[in-house]
Structures are given as structure tokens and as C-alpha cells.
């Protein structure tokens, strides 16, 4: 297996991705109550990437972010259930860019017939990049890291769509908690500064910049 270590200075994909999310109604601006009860000026619903075309495009953006990060990895893994189509899309996106890597995902319950076990696809080996939509409580990441290590492999990092960069129950964000707990990087296709850049450049959205800044002041992390 050949590990990916490529880097790139081209970060245009971040704004392209957010415009794509806006086009798909995945990214919305207005007034939304989050799961934690906070009143947020923007909302991100990744479940609306729900067609073949949008999933293909998403896979390319994931691949762009993975390659731009410089994080070395040998294969990719998606936790059930959301991670299954995401890791498939990422594998295709990477292959289109010349990086044909193995991928796998897990079952929620072990299969006791046929090929058996929890893992579907390539065996977990080497440095494994986990792909998910977002990190909230970090439960999926903890389970993934444990499973990867139980199979004798090492987690290389976690790849997500958007880092909201806001505190959880403590002083750290969910992303920072993952890095602190497991010592692995979290790569996001886009993060809060990218959202701010998007609204600043769009006359129809500039009214939300101040609201996002206020929200960031209340709940954001550095």
C-alpha cells in the first residue's frame, strides 16, 4: 500500500464546497435552534446530500480536503451508518484523483455466517483515515478508534464536512476534544472562518456576518 502524503496550497475547494452546500440547501442561514438549545444563525444538514450527483461531488471535496491536509494514511474507513456512503464517495473521489486506496466500513452487529465479523470491505491495516459528516458528541469517533486499534491498525485522523468550532459542554469543541483524547488530527472540508468568508462575499448573505460573529463570541473556541 502507498500512503498518501500529498499537500496542496490550493484551498479554493473550501468556498466551492460551501457554495455547493448552499445550493443543495444543506447550508442555511436564518434562525435555528441547535440540539444543545442554542439559537444559531446558520444550520448544516448533511442528510440533504441525497442524490447520486451530490454524493459524487461530495466525495471529490472530501478527497480535496484529505489531500490538502498532508496527513498520511493508507486506507479509509466509514462508521455505520452515515459513514458507509461517505467512505464510498471518498474512495471514488480519491481514485479519480489518482489515489486508489482500500476502504471498509463496519456493521452494527457482527455477522456469524458468510464472511462473518464486523468489518465489510478491506481489512483494517496501517494508518486508517476515518470519514464522517460532523463531530458532535464524538461517540462515533471513539467507537471507530477502538475498533481500528482492536484490529491492529492505527487511526490516522478524522475527516468531516464542517467544523463549527464551538464549545461542547466544556471549554473545548468536540473536534478539539477528539484531538486531545486520541492524539489524531481532525480535517474539515470547511470551518467557521470559511463560512464567514462566504457570507462576506455574498451580498445576499452579508447581513448574517454580524450574527455569526456574535454567536461565535458566545460559543466559539479559538
Q: Is position 151 annotated as part of the catalytic site?
A: no
CA distances from 198 to 23, 83, 130 (A): 13, 27, 27
User: CA neighbours within 13 Å on the CB side: how many for 206?
Assistant: 4
Q: Is position 218 annotated as part of the catalytic site?
A: no
DSSP, collapsed to helix, strand or coil, labels residue 165 as coil
Using CB atoms within 10 A of its CB, is residue 42 exposed (0-12), middle (13-18) or buried (19+)?
buried
Among 99, 111, 151, 218, the active-site one is: 111
Measure CA 11 to chain center: 16
Among 113, 151, 211, 218, the active-site one is: 113
213 within 8 A of 172, measured Cβ to Cβ: no
Residues 6+ apart with CB under 8 A from 188: 65, 159, 160, 161, 162, 163, 175
Residues paired with residue 77 on neighbouring β-strands, in sequence order: 104, 130
**Catalytic annotation, residues:** 111, 113
Amino acid at each position: 500500500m502507498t500512503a498518501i502524503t500529498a499537500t496542496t496550497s490550493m484551498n479554493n475547494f473550501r468556498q466551492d464546497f460551501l457554495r455547493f452546500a448552499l445550493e443543495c440547501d444543506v447550508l442555511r442561514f436564518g434562525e435555528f435552534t441547535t440540539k444543545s438549545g442554542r439559537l444559531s444563525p446558520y444550520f448544516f444538514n448533511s442528510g440533504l446530500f441525497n442524490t447520486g450527483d451530490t454524493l459524487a461531488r461530495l466525495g471529490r471535496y472530501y478527497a480535496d480536503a484529505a489531500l490538502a491536509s498532508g496527513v498520511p494514511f493508507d486506507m479509509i474507513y466509514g462508521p455505520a451508518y452515515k459513514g458507509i456512503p461517505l467512505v464510498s464517495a471518498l474512495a471514488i473521489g480519491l481514485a479519480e484523483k489518482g489515489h486508489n486506496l482500500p476502504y471498509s466500513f463496519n456493521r452494527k452487529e457482527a455477522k456469524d455466517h458468510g464472511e462473518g465479523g464486523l468489518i465489510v470491505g478491506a481489512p483494517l491495516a496501517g494508518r486508517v483515515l476515518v470519514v464522517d459528516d460532523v463531530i458532535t458528541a464524538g461517540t462515533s469517533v471513539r467507537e471507530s478508534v477502538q475498533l481500528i486499534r482492536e484490529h491492529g491498525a492505527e487511526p490516522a485522523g478524522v475527516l468531516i464536512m464542517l467544523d463549527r468550532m464551538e464549545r461542547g459542554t466544556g471549554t473545548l469543541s468536540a473536534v478539539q476534544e477528539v484531538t486531545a483524547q486520541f492524539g489524531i488530527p481532525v480535517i474539515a472540508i470547511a470551518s467557521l472562518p470559511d463560512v464567514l468568508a462566504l457570507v462576506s462575499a455574498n451580498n445576499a448573505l452579508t447581513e448574517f456576518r454580524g450574527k455569526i460573529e456574535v454567536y461565535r463570541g458566545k460559543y466559539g473556541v479559538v
